[in-house]
Amino acid sequence: MSDLDAKYLRLQELLRGLGSVLIAFSGGVDSTLLLRVAVEVLGAEKVLALTATSPTYPRYEFEESCALAATFGVRQLVVESDELQIPGFAENDRSRCYHCKKELFSLCRAKALELGFAEILDGSNLDDLGDFRPGRQAADELRVRSPLLEAGLGKEEIRELSRRFGLPTAEKQPFACLASRFPYGTEITAERLAQVERCEDFLRQRGFRNYRVRYHGDIARIEVAPEELARFGDDTLRAEVVAAFKAAGFTYVALDLQGYRSGSMNEVAA
C-alpha cells in the first residue's frame, strides 16, 4: 500500500467516526475533496455544505461551489457574511484572517447546532502549517476539525486524489479570499474588492491559470505562474491588460517577475 493510499484510508476512518458533518465549503481544491469523501463515507444525508457569500468571495467561485455541491447530491446552505462589518477586519491588520474565520466558523457552529450536525469541518491541509495562518486560532477556539490535516495530506496529495476521482478542481489554482490581495494596514473596502475582482476576472477570461492581482493603491501588481510570464511578451495581450486594469481604476499596472506565490503579502509583514 502506498503512503497516499494509507492517508486516504485514514481520512475515511476519521470521517466515518464523526457521524454527521457540516463542512465549510468554498469550492476550492481542498474543501471539494473533503466534501466528496465525506459524502462517500457518510452518505449525502449526513453531510451539509455551508458556503458563505461576501464581498471577499468572487461570484464565479460561488457559482462553481453550487455546481459542485449539486454534482455530489449534497445539500448546500448559503449564508451571508459581510466581513467588512466585523470590527478589525476592514482595518486589515495581521489578525484580519482570524476575524474572518471566527465569523465563518461561528456561523457554522450556530447552523450545526440548529440542524443537528455533530461536527464542523474545514479543508485545512498539512501545507497550511507552513505559512502565517491566524485563522487556525479561530478554528481551534470553535472546535473545527480539519480531517485532511489530521490524515497528514498535503496539497499535492490532495490534487492527486482529486485526479483519481475525476474532480474538476484537481488543477484549480489555490483559493484565497480577495482580502488577501491587500498589504496589511491598507483599508479594505467593497469598492477596492470589486476593483481587484474585476481585474482577476479579466485574467481568468484570458486563460491564465494561477494568478493574483495585488492592490497597492494606484498600482496593480500582477502575479502569474512562472510558466505564464512569457505571455506578457505579446504586445496585444499586454495592451489589453493595461486597458482593462486602468478601466477598473488603477493608474499603473506592474508585472511581478517572481511570479505567483501563495502568501506573498506576508513577505513584508513585520
> How does pLDDT run across 236-255, given as a tens digit for each residue?
999 999 999 999 999 999 99
Map out the domains of the chain with their CATH numbers: 3-164 (3.40.50.620), 178-268 (3.30.70)
Each residue's pLDDT tens digit, 6-21 = 999 999 999 999 999 9
Q: Is the pLDDT of residue 77 over 80?
A: yes
Q: What is the 3-state secondary structure (H, E, C) of the chain?
A: CCHHHHHHHHHHHHHHCCCCEEEECCCCHHHHHHHHHHHHHHCHHHEEEEEEECCCCCHHHHHHHHHHHHHHCCEEEEEECCHHHCCCCCCCCCCHHHHHHHHHHHHHHHHHHHHCCCEEECCCCHHHHHCCCCHHHHHHHCCCECHHHHCCCCHHHHHHHHHHCCCCCCCCCCCCCHHHHCCCCCCCCHHHHHHHHHHHHHHHHCCCCCEEEEEECCEEEEEECHHHHHHHHCHHHHHHHHHHHHHCCCCEEEECCCCCCCCHHHHHCC
Catalytic residue positions? Answer: 177
Each residue's pLDDT tens digit, 25-69 = 999 999 999 999 999 999 999 999 999 998 888 998 999 999 999
**What pLDDT is stored for residue 139 in this prediction?**
85
Q: Is the pLDDT of residue 82 over 60?
A: yes
pLDDT bucket at 235, cuts 50 / 70 / 90 = very high
